[in-house]
Structure 1
Amino acid sequence: MSAKTLAGKRALVTGGARGIGAAIAQALADAGAAIMIADILEDVGRDTAATIAKSGAKTGFVKLDVTDDQQWERAVASTVSTLGGYDILINNAGVEITSLVIDVRAEDLRRMCDVNIVGVGLGMKHAFRAMRPGGAAGAGGAIVNIASVAATIAFPAIAGYSGTKSAVDRMTRVAAMEAGKLGYGVRVNCLYPGLVPTDMGMQLAGDIVKVGLAPDPNAAVASVIEQTPLGRLGEVGDIADAAVFLCSNEARFITGAGLPVDGGMGM
Structure 2
Amino acid sequence: MTGALDGRIALVTGSTGGIGSEIARTLAGAGAHVIGADIPESPGTGEGVADYHQLDVTDEAAWSRVIGAVEAEHGQLDILVHVAGIVVVEKLENTSLADWKKQMAVNVEGPFLGTKIAAQLMRRSGEKLPHGAAIVNIASVAGLIGSPLHTGYCASKAALTMMTKAAALEFSALGYKIRVNSVHPSGVNTGMVDHIMQRFVDEGFAESVEAAREGLAPAHPIGRLAEPEDIAKAVRFLASDDAGYMHGSALVVDGGFTAQ
Q: CA deviation at 1:78?
A: 1.7
Secondary structure, aligned partner of 2:119 = helix
Tell me, yes or no, if the aligned pair for 1:116 and 1:168 is still in contact at 8 Å.
Answer: yes
Task: State which of 141, 159, 162 in structure 1 corresponds to 2:154.
Answer: 162
Task: Name the CA distance, whole Å, in 1 between partners of 2:143 and 2:180.
Answer: 17
Corresponding residue for residue 24 of structure 1: 23
Corresponding residue for residue 56 of structure 1: none
1:265 matched to 2:257? The reply is yes
What is the root-mean-square deviation in Å for CA atoms of aligned residues?
A: 1.5
Q: CA deviation at 1:87?
A: 0.4
Tell me, yes or no, if the aligned pair for 2:187 and 2:226 is still in contact at 8 Å.
Answer: yes
The amino acid of 1:132's aligned partner reads: R
Corresponding residue for residue 57 of structure 2: 66
Tell me, yes or no, if the aligned pair for 1:34 and 1:83 is still in contact at 8 Å.
Answer: no
Percent identity over paired residues: 39
Once the two structures are superposed, residues 187-245 of structure 1 have per-residue CA deviations (whole angstroms, 9 ceiling, x without a partner) of 00000011112122221111111111111112222232222110100000000000000
Task: Name the CA distance, whole Å, in 2 between partners of 1:47 and 1:83.
Answer: 23
Is there any run of 5+ residues in structure 2 with no aligned partner, and where? none
Corresponding residue for residue 113 of structure 2: 122
Corresponding residue for residue 41 of structure 1: 40
TM-score, length-normalised on structure 2? Answer: 0.94
Q: CA deviation at 1:153?
A: 2.2
Task: Name the CA distance, whole Å, in 2 between partners of 1:266 and 1:81.
Answer: 43
TM-score, length-normalised on structure 1? Answer: 0.92
1:146 matched to 2:142? The reply is no
Secondary structure, aligned partner of 1:131 = helix
Secondary structure, aligned partner of 2:257 = coil
Q: CA deviation at 1:46?
A: 4.7
Once the two structures are superposed, residues 113-138 of structure 1 have per-residue CA deviations (whole angstroms, 9 ceiling, x without a partner) of 110010011111122121114x8x86
Corresponding residue for residue 227 of structure 1: 219
The amino acid of 2:100's aligned partner reads: L
Corresponding residue for residue 81 of structure 1: 72
1:176 matched to 2:172? The reply is no
Equivalenced residues, count: 256
Task: Name the CA distance, whole Å, in 2 between partners of 1:84 and 1:25.
Answer: 20
1:52 matched to 2:55? The reply is no
Task: Name the CA distance, whole Å, in 2 between partners of 1:138 and 1:40.
Answer: 31
Is there any run of 5+ residues in structure 1 with no aligned partner, and where? 54-58
The amino acid of 1:67's aligned partner reads: T
Tell me, yes or no, if the aligned pair for 1:13 and 1:92 is still in contact at 8 Å.
Answer: yes
Secondary structure, aligned partner of 1:231 = coil
Tell me, yes or no, if the aligned pair for 1:99 and 1:158 is still in contact at 8 Å.
Answer: yes
Tell me, yes or no, if the aligned pair for 2:4 and 2:30 is still in contact at 8 Å.
Answer: yes
Q: CA deviation at 1:65?
A: 0.6
The amino acid of 2:199's aligned partner reads: D
The amino acid of 2:153's aligned partner reads: Y
The amino acid of 1:47's aligned partner reads: T
Q: Is the deviation greater in 75-84 or in 7-16?
A: 75-84
Tell me, yes or no, if the aligned pair for 1:130 and 1:138 is still in contact at 8 Å.
Answer: no
Task: State which of 180, 188, 193 in structure 2 corresponds to 1:188.
Answer: 180
1:245 matched to 2:237? The reply is yes
Task: Name the CA distance, whole Å, in 2 between partners of 1:201 and 1:90.
Answer: 21
Tell me, yes or no, if the aligned pair for 1:46 and 1:61 is still in contact at 8 Å.
Answer: no
Task: State which of 95, 99, 104 in structure 2 corresponds to 1:104.
Answer: 95
Tell me, yes or no, if the aligned pair for 2:76 and 2:121 is still in contact at 8 Å.
Answer: no
Secondary structure, aligned partner of 2:7 = coil
